[in-house]
């Protein structure tokens, strides 16, 4: 198991959470204490359901939500030009708007709950690493502006960057400390940390959740375990794949060398930013190690990590640095690149919300809010319909 820069930093500044007693029953149990699970509980409570508990096998923010880069990006991992072709212009626009709304929901939650997570609407720089990518970004820039989303061309890249051939800037994007955000959002929510669910049993119209060391009954269960979902329910094998991402952080540099924006390159495989304390946080290069970077093992890939150091030196022109920490995290990729949300075909009291394909901080708040509205108010959401699990039945 590895710990991220954010998790190490967070432990020194937030008080440890006390484990809750596990009640014998509750109205809604949410399995998984990452952004999706915590945000779902947050909106369920906001809409009036108080008897909600989040069951988390380790600690809140243990998974990808505490180990990611903290980028708040509009759109999905593919360039907008590909979304327009793949999903059609109407859905490409709808998804862009959804991710921008998701960003607004994060900003709203930070303000409403006074969450200290170094949030900033910093903008993002999308860098082309090849002629093919350059062409996609030129098309993306044109299509974004055509569809009413402001994006700016980059005439001149900072001289320290090398191996990039232009790109574009998207001013509405942002960044935060993802672990601090999820922990902050979980304040006031009943959470049982250290509860690993191993089986969900149908009992009439409700569900019994059997965990290692405890069990409880609930009227409904929501599984928000992202890449780990196939371990809990075999239906998701072949639909959601555990994919690993490697990251590292340097000790603080003497000054800021990257500016305030976050950087996304090589079709999102490579990404980097500088923290408020001037640490460089960099991840990616998974495309060089596709065979190794799959599975549930959250471990360090030494050759890839060494490549990250070289990348920092050669591509970002940073040669005087010391590594503070290296880590990896687990993403949940789906076969069509979209999240999977909906009631299980074999147990309608259990709803899955997972498969965020490396972009959960761009989508999970909207999914959580719409799911809470659907459960408590019967409201339909075109976004949830688009992500419906029923597309695989």
Ligand X SMILES: Cc1cc2nc3c(=O)[nH]c(=O)nc-3n(C[C@H](O)[C@H](O)[C@H](O)COP(=O)(O)OP(=O)(O)OC[C@H]3O[C@@H](n4cnc5c(N)ncnc54)[C@H](O)[C@@H]3O)c2cc1C
State the residues that interact with ligand X by CB under 6 A: 31-37, 55-58, 62-65, 67-71, 196-197, 224-226, 228, 232, 245, 247, 283, 329-331, 354, 356, 358-362, 364
Please, what is the minimum distance in Å from the beta carbon of residue 320 to ligand X?
25
Q: In whole angstroms, what is the distance from residue 347 CA to residue 343 CA? A: 7
Q: In whole angstroms, what is the distance from residue 186 CA to residue 35 CA? A: 9
Kindly state the helix (H) or strand (E) to which residue 190 belongs, with its residue range.
Answer: strand 190-193
Please, what is the minimum distance in Å from the beta carbon of residue 274 to ligand X?
14
Q: Which residues of 12-50 are buried (b: 16+ CB within 10 A; e: fewer)?
A: eeeeeeeeeebeeebebbbbbbbbbbbbbbbbbbeeebe
> By CB neighbour count within 10 A (0-12 exposed, 13-18 middle, 19+ buried), where does 213 fall?
exposed
Please, what is the minimum distance in Å from the beta carbon of residue 2 to ligand X?
10
CA atoms within 13 A on the CB side of 389: 19
Please, what is the minimum distance in Å from the beta carbon of residue 356 to ligand X?
3
Please, what is the minimum distance in Å from the beta carbon of residue 79 to ligand X?
16
Q: How do strand 25-31 and strand 347-354 relate by DSSP bridges?
A: unpaired
Q: Which residues of 141-156 are buried (b: 16+ CB within 10 A; e: fewer)?
A: bebbeeeebebeebee
Please, what is the minimum distance in Å from the beta carbon of residue 298 to ligand X?
9
Q: In whole angstroms, what is the distance from residue 214 CA to residue 28 CA? A: 16
CB-nearer residue toward ligand X: 60 or 378: 60
Please, what is the minimum distance in Å from the beta carbon of residue 131 to ligand X?
26
Q: In whole angstroms, what is the distance from residue 345 CA to residue 393 CA? A: 8
E-assigned strand segments in 296-363: 323-334, 340-344, 347-354
């Amino acid at each position: 198991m590895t710990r991220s820069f954010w998790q190490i930093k967070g432990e020194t500044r937030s008080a440890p959470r006390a484990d809750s007693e596990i009640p014998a029953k509750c109205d809604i149990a949410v399995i998984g204490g990452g952004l999706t699970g915590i945000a779902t509980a947050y909106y369920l409570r906001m809409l009036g359901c108080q008897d909600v508990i989040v069951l988390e096998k380790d600690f809140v923010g243990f998974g990808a939500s505490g180990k990611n880069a903290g980028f708040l990006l509009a759109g999905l991992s593919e360039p907008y030009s590909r979304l327009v072709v793949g999903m059609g212009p109407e859905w490409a626009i709808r998804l862009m708007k959804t991710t921008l709304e998701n960003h607004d929901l994060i900003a709203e939650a930070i303000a409403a709950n006074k969450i200290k997570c170094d949030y900033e609407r910093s903008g993002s720089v999308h860098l082309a690493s090849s002629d093919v990518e350059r062409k996609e970004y030129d098309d993306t820039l044109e299509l974004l502006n055509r569809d009413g989303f402001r994006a700016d061309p980059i005439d001149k890249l900072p001289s320290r960057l090398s191996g990039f051939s232009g790109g574009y800037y998207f001013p509405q994007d942002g960044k935060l400390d993802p672990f601090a955000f999820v922990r902050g959002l979980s304040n006031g929510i009943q959470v049982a940390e250290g509860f690993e669910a191993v089986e969900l049993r149908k009992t009439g119209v409700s569900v019994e959740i059997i965990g290692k060391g405890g069990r409880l009954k609930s009227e409904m269960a929501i599984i928000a375990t992202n890449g780990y979902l196939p371990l809990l329910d075999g239906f998701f094998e072949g639909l959601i794949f555990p994919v690993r991402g490697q990251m590292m952080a340097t000790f603080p540099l003497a000054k800021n060398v990257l500016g305030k924006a976050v950087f996304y390159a090589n079709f999102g495989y490579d990404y980097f930013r500088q923290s408020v304390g001037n640490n460089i946080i960099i991840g990616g290069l998974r495309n060089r190690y596709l065979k190794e970077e799959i599975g549930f093992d959250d471990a360090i890939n030494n050759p890839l990590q060494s490549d990250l150091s070289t990348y920092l030196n050669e591509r970002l022109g940073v040669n005087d640095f010391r590594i503070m920490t290296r880590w990896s995290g687990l993403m949940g990729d789906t076969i069509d690149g979209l999240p999977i949300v909906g009631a299980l075909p074999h147990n309608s009291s259990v709803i899955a919300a997972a498969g965020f394909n490396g972009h959960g901080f761009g989508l999970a708040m909207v999914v959580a809010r719409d799911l809470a509205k659907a459960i408590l108010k019967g409201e339909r959401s075109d976004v949830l319909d688009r992500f419906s699990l029923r597309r695989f039945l």
